[in-house]
Amino acid sequence: RLRDRPSAYAERLRALREGRHGVRQELAILDGFLDAASRSIDKLAESVNPARFRRAVEILAKADTIYLVARRRAFPLTSYMAYGFGKLGIRIHLVNSPTATDPEIAGMASARDAAIAVSFTTYSAETVSLARAIAEAGVPLVAITDSSFSPLADVATEWLEVAEADHAGFRLLSASMALCMALTVAVASARE
């Protein structure tokens, strides 16, 4: 909450239109997003904490079932992790039910399981609530978030930090996706 609130999407589009002169707008937009993605990945490569990553892998590798919790812009990350874990033969629950039974699904997790919760500023209240309930039930929780001030960092057994660069106020998921897929594959490798 200490960070600035994101600008409205109309303001972000206006900033894009007022971008570089003499370059076709769509190419300037593409260049801006590619630059932001590159900066995000470079920053993650420099700042990732290997010990935390290793501990997160160990927690998840021991789990019978991995519960995946994310909403809003973080949802594509857990969705792709669910795909990856499924293809690698790892039992998962993607906690995102259209029937609004997420608290009940998350409530099935036990100390033999683990959970991954992902949220970034402005932090999804539903993700934070589910993560808190999971942690209070004694389920090991790995959080992926953008700051030590994140409410997920407070309740996590282990947390990984990834901060994405933006272009004209639009934040990407480039480094986050790389981190999530590395975590998925590392867990599968550790289980062998």
Tokens matching residue 13: 């589009």
Phi–psi pair at 144, nearest 5 degrees? -120, 120
Angle, CA 103 vertex, CA 100 and CA 108 arms, to 5°: 125
pLDDT at 6: 56
Cβ contacts of 141 within 8 Å, gap of 6 or more: 114, 115, 116, 117, 131, 134, 135, 155, 156, 157, 158
- The mean pLDDT of 70-90, rounded to a whole number, is 96
- Find, among 131, 120, 116, the residue nearest to 172 by Cα: 120
Query: Is it the case that residue 65 has pLDDT exceeding 90?
Result: yes
pLDDT at 127: 95
Computed over every residue of the chain, the mean pLDDT equals 90
- The mean pLDDT of 32-43, rounded to a whole number, is 95
Alpha helix positions (H), the chain:
9-17, 25-47, 50-61, 75-87, 102-107, 125-136, 151-155, 174-191
> Which of 8-22, 52-66, 70-84, 94-108 shows the lowest per-residue confidence on average (mean pLDDT)?
8-22
Query: Is it the case that residue 166 has pLDDT exceeding 60?
Result: yes
pLDDT interval class at 7 (50, 70, 90): low
Query: Is it the case that residue 101 has pLDDT exceeding 90?
Result: no
- The mean pLDDT of 171-183, rounded to a whole number, is 96
pLDDT interval class at 104 (50, 70, 90): confident
pLDDT interval class at 2 (50, 70, 90): very low
